[in-house]
Amino acid sequence: MILITGASGNVGREVLKQIVGTGAQVRAGFQSLNKAAAAPSGVETVALDYGQPETMRSALKGVERVFLVGPPTAQLPALERMAVDLIKQSHVTQVVKLSAMGGRHAIFPRQHAESEDYIRSSGLPYTFLRPNGFMQNMINYNAPTINAQNAFYGSEGDGRVSQVDIRDVAAVAVKALTEDGHVGKTYTLTGPEALTNREIAQILSDTVGREIRYIDLPPAQLKQALLSAGVPEWSVDALLDLQRLYREGRAATVTGDVEQITGRKPIGYTQFSRDYKNVFQPEERAAS
């Protein structure tokens, strides 16, 4: 039995979608049973809340491998430590942790590095997946302004980022969860190229047939805009710190790990933009 935690999240949802096709016995953990209604047919679903250890303990019964995805909050290291302690008390033989590229150079990757350290010290067999920024974040965070203003905003300057498609991250996760030979391995997952936001804006423009602009803002101005939009301050500070990392050119590394594990080239930004073209439509067209 394989347990997929965070099954309603961006990566967990895609892992669940892909792993069903392998025929593996899968249990999916959702924050609520209402969200579990979206699970693919044939998947066992359970309520799993990192803040309620008893739900993790119950979800682990009979599980051999775990895809570990903690919530993106300030409490992530502590919550994942709790999960790891419970996993160690179970019969799990491998933890595949969704981590992050970036080491300890920014808040988000630093949290994951702390969790990696704890997993290593626990003695649990592990596989660490360290993706760079997700291409799909363009949809999750920027599609509204792209569709309303033909623009998206950030404070990355001309920093290059080797963004990776979530579908490739999930493909590697499925391999690590269903095949042998991945214990003790760390995979850094990137796309095939490192692009600036201005280059991404040009790719999107070419795909949708209208000009999309990237507008670079001073970090303080972007912070105020995000706070005004209701984003929690910790999340804003962590995001701005990540954009600083990008601005400094510390996220431009391109690796071959996706191809090594999946046997195919990673998805490029042009292909991503074509696959999700319908998401980037002007508001009047989307309404019709």
- 151 and 115 share one domain: no
pLDDT the model gives residue 284: 61
Q: How many domains does the chain have?
A: 2
Report the pLDDT averaged over residues 224-230: 95
pLDDT at 82 exceeding the cut of 90: yes
pLDDT the model gives residue 33: 78
- 183 and 196 share one domain: no
Kindly state the percentage of the chain with pLDDT values over 70: 98
Q: Does residue 8 contact residue 31 with C-beta atoms inside 8 Å?
A: yes
Report the pLDDT averaged over residues 118-133: 97
Report the pLDDT averaged over residues 257-271: 98
- 181 and 240 share one domain: no
- Model confidence, pTM: 0.94
CA atoms within 13 A on the CB side of 204: 28
Q: Give Cβ neighbours of residue 71 (< 8 Å, ≥ 6 apart).
A: 6, 50, 79
- 71 and 149 share one domain: no
Supply the range of the domain harboring residue 198.
137-160+192-253+267-287
- 208 and 124 share one domain: no
What DSSP line would sit under 26-86, residue for residue?
A: EEEEESSHHHHTTSPTT-EEEE--TT-HHHHHHHTTT-SEEEE---SSTTHHHHHHHHHHH
Pairing of strands 2-4, 44-47: unpaired
- 54 and 141 share one domain: no
pLDDT the model gives residue 286: 47
pLDDT (tens digit, 9 = 90+) per residue, 162-217? 999 999 999 999 999 999 999 999 999 999 999 999 999 999 999 999 999 999 99
Token pair of 108, please? Answer: 């988000």
Q: Which residues pair with 27 in a beta bridge?
A: 3, 44
pLDDT at 282 exceeding the cut of 90: no
pLDDT the model gives residue 13: 94
- 122 and 141 share one domain: no
3-state secondary structure of 159: coil
- 61 and 174 share one domain: yes
CA 234, distance to chain mean position in Å, is 18
Give 53: exposed, middle or buried? Use CB within 10 Å, 0-12, 13-18, 19+. Answer: middle
pLDDT the model gives residue 288: 47
pLDDT the model gives residue 285: 55
Question: What is the domain-level CATH number for residue 53?
Answer: 3.40.50.720
pLDDT the model gives residue 41: 84
- 92 and 213 share one domain: no
Question: What is the domain-level CATH number for residue 203?
Answer: 3.90.25.10
